[in-house]
């Protein structure tokens, strides 16, 4: 049976349809918003995986280039590995949904969002987030708390729901909010230094819009949804659980009160060893239950400390930032480097400058086709004192790099101000909470060290949350460390400058956060950010005036676009000649802007001179200092500009009669010549005689006037 239902959002129709496509999926939903269309397939395994203690949720966001009428580039001509944007979209779908599945549900769940058609006024990622939630609601998978998602822009003091392509260009805010009908559960934001009160109002505004979608999904679930699978709680050895509590509870609580991280780990390892010696032989079939109980005892101890005793595991105040340190110019041959340390979290960022030809080309379904500022983040195993195979970046690393990029991108100078492609790599050297925000700080330092004229430095901080089971009590924590992140309920990352917020990302482990928590987090994050920025400013208050001697030198020139062909030459002959002669890189834009990248200024200036010569238009009546390049019986050929030669007939070579060209000039001589004619085939006729006469006349006039 084919079912169709719809709702209006921002004056446009959002429509869901199922029962027509993908008949064998638990739910195959075709969701449309304008002419953007996505198929969402939701399926789950019939039974839980054996031996796992986590929820195996898999989200796939599949971009198809036919959705925007493109054929993939390269030789293979088909979509390859997911783009970074696809991975980020999949993560954004995962984060609000995962906390809303029932506890003890360990069946494999896979949601596949396939982008079929894209109208750039209606973003496919926002549609996919709504479609994933709705598909789960309509399926038999035990998911019963719908999540609505909207994008919000801010234009001329007004909030705009799901802004169109043109509105997104005008907006200084790019906000995505996911919410249930009761609470905000996920926030992703980028902005051009947005004031804290404006950001809070935007979130409130977005919640009301997202709430409408959540209520609509709930109505559709009640009307069309399948009966839900029963969640069967796993069998637990109650006797073993009780034995763990009696044997180790007090010791675990005592250990969690040790403020030193290393000492606490040593004591906890000893306790776990004693538990293993005492209980594993007695309960050989319940080791998983025993380990789970140890984890829960640790978690409860930390949360009780924070909520009841008003203590943090490391002894800090709730709004206290860990010790800070900043350093620049660590590395000898790089273009810029910065080291940022907060407690036991440490990140080194390295900035590299390149020619505009090194701008990243993006082959995807979005409007963005290139990227001049690139931020990459690496999280090696040694940063947490562990070992694991070294492979390519995982989804988390891609996500953290994108967040840091979003935080700094609004501060990057324009091409006109700083004509470079810029890449920053953040290497996590030590991790104990919020390395993504430490990479924002380290990257600002590295960019300043590289001489990049950022508008202002950016810094970031992560806020945490601990709530009671009924959500009646909550404590917001500034600068969460790893333990508080692991056992807490929220990771609220805020990055920005002294003027405002440039990026926000919120993940929760509970069914949403209160507006009081959001407000406190934003306000306290600002206080912490100002403290961090003051430490960074003491290290390097502004960008260096000179680039590293190892950085490329970029010079810019603008020519008439009609002259581009003259600079390039037939088959690239001219431009390749310039490159071979000067050793530079040349990037030519359609508007006539030319970027010359050289290892030294001398080579760059020489290339600019040559380009100017090839682009300059020869005009009748002008006098040039030219070079004799060839002699014939009837005259000589003179190069007056690069690639532009003209003939001086023997009769025009001197004021007196010339019997033989060689009597007056030789190859290689520099002589003044005047352009007397350019015929309809482009041939240039020159006169040394006229140039001499005109020069003599000017000299006589100057003598008379003096």
pLDDT averaged over consecutive 10-residue blocks of the chain (706 residues)? 89 94 95 97 91 89 93 84 92 96 93 96 96 97 97 97 96 97 96 97 97 97 95 88 93 94 93 93 91 93 95 94 97 97 97 91 81 96 92 92 97 93 97 95 98 97 93 93 93 97 95 94 97 97 94 89 87 89 89 89 88 85 92 93 89 91 92 92 91 83 68
The Cα–Cα gap between 88 and 64 comes to 16
**Nearest Cα to Cα of residue 689 among 640, 629, 660, 649:** 649
**Residue 440 burial (C-beta neighbours within 10 Å; 0-12, 13-18, 19+):** buried
pLDDT recorded at residue 412: 97
Listing DSSP states for 255-282 in one string gives HHT---HHHHHHHHHHHHHHHIIIIITT
CA distances from 614 to 491, 572, 640, 647 (A): 58, 13, 10, 18
CA distances from 553 to 330, 410, 599, 654, 701 (A): 22, 24, 6, 45, 45
The Cα–Cα gap between 650 and 660 comes to 8
Give the phi and the psi of residue 324 in degrees, each rounded to 5.
-120, 150
List, in sequence order, every beta strand (DSSP E) within 65-209.
107-117, 148-155, 158-161, 173-179, 184-194
pLDDT recorded at residue 672: 93
What would the pLDDT profile of 541-579 be if each residue is shown by its tens digit?
999 999 999 999 888 988 888 888 888 888 888 899 889
Structure tokens at 433: 């909470």
pLDDT recorded at residue 74: 76
**Nearest Cα to Cα of residue 89 among 188, 202, 229, 23:** 188
**Nearest Cα to Cα of residue 350 among 418, 443, 453:** 443
> Element (H or E) spanning 371, and its range?
strand 370-371
pLDDT recorded at residue 312: 95
Integer Rg of the chain from CA:
34
| Residue located via tokens 């709504």 | 130
Please list the residues that pair with 459 across neighbouring strands: 496
What would the pLDDT profile of 632-683 be if each residue is shown by its tens digit?
999 999 999 887 899 999 999 998 998 999 989 999 999 999 999 998 888 9
What would the pLDDT profile of 506-548 be if each residue is shown by its tens digit?
999 999 999 999 999 999 999 999 999 999 999 999 999 999 9
The Cα–Cα gap between 417 and 410 comes to 14
Q: Which long-range contacts (CB under 8 A, 24 or more apart) does 696-704 make?
A: none
The Cα–Cα gap between 258 and 265 comes to 9
Domains of the chain listed by start with CATH number = 3-167+193-224 (3.30.230.70), 238-307 (1.10.10.400), 324-539 (3.30.230.70), 553-615 (3.30.1370.10), 623-705 (2.40.50.140)
Name the packing angle between helices 601-615 and 573-582 (round to 10°): 160
The Cα–Cα gap between 426 and 435 comes to 9
Q: Which DSSP state fits 415? A: T
**pTM, two decimal places:** 0.88
Structure tokens at 219: 């109505």
Structure tokens at 558: 């603008």
Q: How many residues are there in the chain?
A: 706
Ordered alpha helix ranges (H), 496-548: 515-539
The Cα–Cα gap between 119 and 131 comes to 16
Structure tokens at 151: 């994008």
186 close to 178: Cβ distance less than 8 angstroms: yes
Structure tokens at 450: 């590289």
The Cα–Cα gap between 349 and 565 comes to 41
Q: Which residue ranges make up the annotated binding site?
A: 485, 491
> Element (H or E) spanning 505, and its range?
strand 501-508
237 close to 289: Cβ distance less than 8 angstroms: yes
Q: Which residue ranges make up the annotated binding site for Mg(2+)?
A: 485, 491
The Cα–Cα gap between 330 and 341 comes to 14
The Cα–Cα gap between 349 and 444 comes to 9
pLDDT recorded at residue 459: 98
113 close to 38: Cβ distance less than 8 angstroms: yes
**Nearest Cα to Cα of residue 490 among 470, 510, 504:** 510
Q: How many H-runs (helices) and E-runs (strands) does the chain carry?
A: 15, 29
The Cα–Cα gap between 556 and 574 comes to 18
């Amino acid at each position: 049976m084919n079912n169709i239902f719809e709702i209006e959002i921002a004056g446009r129709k959002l429509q869901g349809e199922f029962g027509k496509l993908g008949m064998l999926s638990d739910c195959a939903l075709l969701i449309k918003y304008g002419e953007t269309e996505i198929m969402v397939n939701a399926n789950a395994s019939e039974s839980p995986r054996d031996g796992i203690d986590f929820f195996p949720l898999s989200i796939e966001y599949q971009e198809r280039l036919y959705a925007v009428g493109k054929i993939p580039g390269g030789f293979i001509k088909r979509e390859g590995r997911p783009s970074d944007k696809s991975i980020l979209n999949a993560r954004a779908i995962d984060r609000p949904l995962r906390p809303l599945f029932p506890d003890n549900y360990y069946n494999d769940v896979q949601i596949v969002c396939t982008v079929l058609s894209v109208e750039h006024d209606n973003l496919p990622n926002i549609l996919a987030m709504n479609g994933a939630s709705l598909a789960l609601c309509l399926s038999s998978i035990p998911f019963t708390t719908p999540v609505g998602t909207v994008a919000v822009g801010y234009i001329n003091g007004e909030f705009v729901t799901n802004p169109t392509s043109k509105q997104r260009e005008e907006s200084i805010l790019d906000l995505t909010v996911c919410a249930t009908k009761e609470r905000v559960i996920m926030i992703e934001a980028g902005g051009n230094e947005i004031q804290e009160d404006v950001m809070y109002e935007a979130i409130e505004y977005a919640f009301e819009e997202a709430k409408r979608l959540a209520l609509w999904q709930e109505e559709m679930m009640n009307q069309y949804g399948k009966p839900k699978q029963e969640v069967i709680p796993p069998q637990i050895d109650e006797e073993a659980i009780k034995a763990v509590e009696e044997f180790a509870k007090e010791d675990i609580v005592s250990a969690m009160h040790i403020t030193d991280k290393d000492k606490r780990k040593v004591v906890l390892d000893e306790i776990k060893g004693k538990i293993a010696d005492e209980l594993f032989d007695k309960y050989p079939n319940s080791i998983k239950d025993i380990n789970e109980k140890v984890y829960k005892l640790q978690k409860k101890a930390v949360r009780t400390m924070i909520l009841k005793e008003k203590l943090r595991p490391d002894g800090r105040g709730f709004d206290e930032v860990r010790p800070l340190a900043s350093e620049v110019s660590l590395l000898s041959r790089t273009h810029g480097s910065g080291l940022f340390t907060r407690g036991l979290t440490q990140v080194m960022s390295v900035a590299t400058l390149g020619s505009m030809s090194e701008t990243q080309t993006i082959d995807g379904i979005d409007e963005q086709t290139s990227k001049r500022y690139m931020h990459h983040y690496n999280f090696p195993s040694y940063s947490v004192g562990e070992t694991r195979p070294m492979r390519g970046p995982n989804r988390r690393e891609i996500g953290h790099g994108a967040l840091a990029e979003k935080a700094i991108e609004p501060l990057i100078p324009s091409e006109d101000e700083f004509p470079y492609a810029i890449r920053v790599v953040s290497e996590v050297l030590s991790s104990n909470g919020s390395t993504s925000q430490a990479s924002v700080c380290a990257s600002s330092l590295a960019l300043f060290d590289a001489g990049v004229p950022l508008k202002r430095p950016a810094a970031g901080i992560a806020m945490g949350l601990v709530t009671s089971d009924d959500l009646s009590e909550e404590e917001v924590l500034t600068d969460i460390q790893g333990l508080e992140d692991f056992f807490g309920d929220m990771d609220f990352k805020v990055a920005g400058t002294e003027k405002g917020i440039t990026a926000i990302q919120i993940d929760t482990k509970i069914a949403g956060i209160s507006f009081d928590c959001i407000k406190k987090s934003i306000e306290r994050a600002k206080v912490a950010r100002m403290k961090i920025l003051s430490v960074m400013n003491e290290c390097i208050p502004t960008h260096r005036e000179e680039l590293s001697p190892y950085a490329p030198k970029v010079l810019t020139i603008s020519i008439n676009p009609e002259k581009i062909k003259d600079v390039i030459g037939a088959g690239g002959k001219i431009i390749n000649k310039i490159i071979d002669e000067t050793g530079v890189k040349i990037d030519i834009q359609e508007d006539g802007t030319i970027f010359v990248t050289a290892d030294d200024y001398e080579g760059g200036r020489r290339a600019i001179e040559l380009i100017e010569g090839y682009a300059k238009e020869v005009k009748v009546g002008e006098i040039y200092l030219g070079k004799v390049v060839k002699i014939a019986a009837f005259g000589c050929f003179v190069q007056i500009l690069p690639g532009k030669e003209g003939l001086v007939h023997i009769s025009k070579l001197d004021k007196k009669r010339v019997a033989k060209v060689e009597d007056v000039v030789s190859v290689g001589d520099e002589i003044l010549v005047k352009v007397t004619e350019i015929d309809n085939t482009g041939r240039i006729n020159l006169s040394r005689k006229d140039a001499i006469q005109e020069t003599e006349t000017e000299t006589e006039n100057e003598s008379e006037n003096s």
